[in-house]
Structures are given as C-alpha cells and as structure tokens.
Structure 1
Amino acid sequence: MEPTAERESTTLRPAEKQGLLFVLSAPSGTGKDSVIEALKRQGMDFHVVTSVTTRAPRPGESEGHPYHFISYEEFQQLVVNDELIEYANVHGNWYGQPRRQIKENLAAGRDVLLKVDVQGAATIRRKIPQAILIFLAPETQEELAQRLSRRQTENAEQFRRRLADAANELAQYHWYDYLVINREGQLAQAVEQVRAIMIAEHCRVQPRYVEL
C-alpha cells in the first residue's frame, strides 16, 4: 500500500488589520446623526471625525460637540498646512475634515466615519478611491421639508436655501456605493441597513484599505 501524503492544512487569515473609511452624506434634516448615535448604542466601534467649521455654534452645541468651532483665519491656516483631507463651503460656512484623526484611527485598526456633504464626498472619492460612500436620503423631498420645518433652526431664507441644496444633493446619490432610505418613523430600518453595509465591507476578500 502506498503511503498517504499528508494534506497541507489551509488556514484563512485576515489581511493586515486596518480600519475602513466610511463616508456618510445626507441632506440636512435627513437624520444622519440619529443613525450614527443608534449604531453606537448597538456597540458598533468606529470613530466619527470631528469636523472643523467657521460657523457659529447653534443652541445646544459646544466646542467639540459636534464640531470644532474656529475662526476663518484659523481655518485658512489649516488649509495652508495641508492638515485637512477635504474642505468645502457649505451654506455659506467653511467645513473641513482633519487628516490626523483619520490617519491615526485607521492605523490603529479602527473604522472611521466621515460626515460630509456631496461636495466633500466627491473630493474624498477622488483622493481616496478605497473609501466606502453611503448616501442617506428621505423617502420624498416633501417629507424632508416637513422635517426641516419642525426643526425650526433656520430663518425663512436659510430654509429655502437648504431645500434647494437638498434637491441638488438628492440628484447626485447615484455615484455613491450605497443608498439607504430613512423613512419617517422607520429609523431602526435605516440603522440596520447601514450596520449591514459596515459589517459586509469587513467580509470582502479584498478589503478596501486606505493609504493616506
């Protein structure tokens, strides 16, 4: 009887540990902060980048929650020093994403989530093609208008501008990787879909690792 050759055992090993970069965009009032907070309560571990902005804090906001509030001159210095991975003027104010937060968390193996508008997402897509882009949308524009009206954080002119901006943003969802609809009264469903996307991306045979 011929000796039986030992079979080589094959062990599937994950690639080198690194976090993934997720980008979440949504028209103002669509509920992206509510989705993020719900994901955190479910135990999803990711770092939400604290953006810098030149706008003034709204009632209930403070330094670092949800933004770092800085002067226009400070913002310009960050741009000159190449400390922002992306920046844009939104609704008349400047917003930017600090490079260091992203790089350090990804290197530590932690996922990073960027909250940016469609301008910012387009820039991220161009600079970092491995980023995973998710667009959160209302079921209808009429539903979004009702949400913004209930919020009562803008005057009439600002309200009209946000609705116009939202229409433009909604028209650009097609170049994102994923579309999630946050229907009125169905936040849990939207949260579950975003959660499923984040989990599935970690199961890819070829993970979308980022190089900064």
Structure 2
Amino acid sequence: NVQHMLKDFFISQQTQTLLFSSDGKTEPGGDEKDLETATETVMMAALEKKLGGHFSRRPTLPASQPLLIVISGPSGVGKDAVIARLQEVRREMHFVVTATTREKRVGEVDGKDYIFMDKPKFEELIERNELLEHALVYGDYKGIPKQQVRKALGKGTDVVLRLDVQGAATIRKLIPESLSIFLVAENERALVRRLLARKTEPLDSALVRVETARKETQRIGEFDYVVENPSGKLEETVQKICSIIEAEKLRMNKKRIKI
C-alpha cells in the first residue's frame, strides 16, 4: 500500500545520504524535506497507477487563433502614432502597409508607412481583386493588399490594420471575427486642434475633415472597443490596446479567420 511504499522510499533515501555524505551526517531539516519529496513522488505514482496512465505534461491552455485587429478613428486622433509605438512593443505582430494614391507627406517612407501609387495602378489592383478592402477617401484611394493579410494569418501571426471608419465597416462585414478598436481624442476641441496643428491643408479641407470626424464619431457603437488617446499619453493608450489584445487571445471559441 501507499504507507509501505513511502516507508521503503524514505529508508532508501536515508541510506543513500549516509553512504555518499562526506561526514556521514544529514543536513538539518533534511529528513522532513526528503519525506515531503517522497510523499509527493509516491502519491503521484499511486494516483497514476489507479488512473491507469501518466499525467500529461502538455500545456492546458488551448492554442490561440491569430487575431485580425482593426485600429480606426477620425482623422487627427493619432492612429499613426499609436500604430508606430505598437510596432515597437509588439514586434511579433504583422502590421499591414496600406496602399494609397494620396501624396506622400514629409518624412513618410514608401513601403513602410504606405505603398504609394498612382490611380491607374490602384485601379488595376481593384480589377484583379487583389485588395481586401478599398475606398475613395477625400478624393484619394486607400486599400488593403489581400495577400499581406492572408500570408501573415497563415503563419499564425496576429495582423493589425490601420483603417478609417469606412474601411473598418467594410472589414466587419467581410470578416465578422475581426477585432475592432476605435480611438478618440479627449473631446472635439482637442481633435480640431490636432488637425489644425498639421498645417498641411487649407481651411476648406480642414472643414471637410472636421465634419467627417463628427459623423465618424457617431459610429463609435459599431466597434468592439473604444480607447481614448489623450495628448501626451501615448504609452497609456498603447498599453490599453495591448491589454485588449491579450484578453482577446484568451477568449474561447474563436473562429478561424479566412481571407
């Protein structure tokens, strides 16, 4: 029985200690420690014998499906800054580079910030059905190359899309399993100040963006999560997004995303 197994194991351990110790003495408290180890070992063996097999060492946590994360929000809310910082702290994720026909801004790098192209080339991609989503925004095309997303998800990698509200709505219809996060400023006044701080467009264009931002913010309820991105608190914003991602990866019964 278990008691006899424990006794035999403990005597064996004591004998080995006396034979191999340099001074023939056991360490203070050694008996109790050996007995504790012996008890656990014998009990484990007895349980395995009763249950008819060894206890599994395989991870209990199920393998997580890769996420398709959509980060959206009105113009000027800071999507680019949030994405840039997220790329630094979550290097294991794939950040899709959006194709666009708009003019390149100062400091932007082709192929890194956006894939810049003219309208005829973009329209060719549309014709060949090579875009997961595309839209005409402020007179310029923007779209997501389908192959980028498919390849990353196929490797089990989480994918991040930076989209305007219109594009996010399209992805929700095409891929209901996607995770959508809406960024907001502290208030409307703060958002307008950010738009004016760019100084890259005339008043008429700024007016269009403000009016569009108002309409887009009204659709906040369509998203899974809303995260405030206050001025000067980028780290807090990114940390909240990381917490959302970690929580979603623990969600059960997620469906595999198919592109």
User: Does the TM-score normalized on the shorter chain lie above 0.5?
Assistant: yes
**Which residue number in structure 2 is paired with residue 57 of structure 1?**
104
Q: CA deviation at 1:40?
A: 2.5
**Which residue number in structure 2 is paired with residue 202 of structure 1?**
249
Q: CA deviation at 1:198?
A: 1.0
**Which residue number in structure 1 is paired with residue 62 of structure 2?**
14
Does the 8 A contact of 1:201 with 1:207 survive in 2?
Answer: no
Q: Secondary structure at the match of 1:5?
A: helix
Residues matched between the structures, number: 210
**Which residue number in structure 2 is paired with residue 104 of structure 1?**
151
Q: CA deviation at 1:85?
A: 0.5
Matched residues in 2 for 1:7 and 1:127: separation?
A: 49
Matched residues in 2 for 1:188 and 1:208: separation?
A: 31
What do the CA deviations read for 1:68-99 (whole angstroms, capped 9, x no partner)?
Answer: 11111111111111100100011111100000
TM-score (norm 1): 0.91
Q: 1:151–1:203: structure 2 CA closer, same or farther, 3 Å change rule? A: same
**Which residue number in structure 2 is paired with residue 5 of structure 1?**
50
* Structure with greater helix percent: 2
Q: CA deviation at 1:61?
A: 2.1
Query: CA RMSD, aligned part only?
Result: 1.9
Q: Which segment is superposed worse, 50-59 or 31-40? A: 31-40
Does the 8 A contact of 1:18 with 1:108 survive in 2?
Answer: no
Greater relative contact order, per chain length (Cα 8 Å cut-off, separation 6+): 1
| Unmatched tracts of structure 2, length 5 or more | 2-45
Q: Which segment is superposed worse, 69-78 or 97-106? A: 69-78
Matched residues in 1 for 2:118 and 2:258: separation?
A: 30
Q: CA deviation at 1:5?
A: 3.4
Q: Which segment is superposed worse, 179-188 or 58-67? A: 58-67
1:36-115 residue pairs with structure 2 within 5 A? 36-115=83-162
Matched residues in 2 for 1:42 and 1:205: separation?
A: 25
Does the 8 A contact of 1:22 with 1:131 survive in 2?
Answer: yes
Percent of pairs with identical residues: 37
Matched residues in 2 for 1:55 and 1:92: separation?
A: 8
Which has the greater radius of gyration?
A: 2
Q: 1:117–1:7: structure 2 CA closer, same or farther, 3 Å change rule? A: farther
**Which residue number in structure 2 is paired with residue 144 of structure 1?**
191
Does the 8 A contact of 2:177 with 2:255 survive in 1?
Answer: yes
TM-score (norm 2): 0.76
Is residue 163 of structure 1 aligned with residue 215 of structure 2?
no
Q: Secondary structure at the match of 2:51?
A: coil
* Structure with greater strand percent: 1
**Which residue number in structure 1 is paired with residue 12 of structure 2?**
none
| Unmatched tracts of structure 1, length 5 or more | none
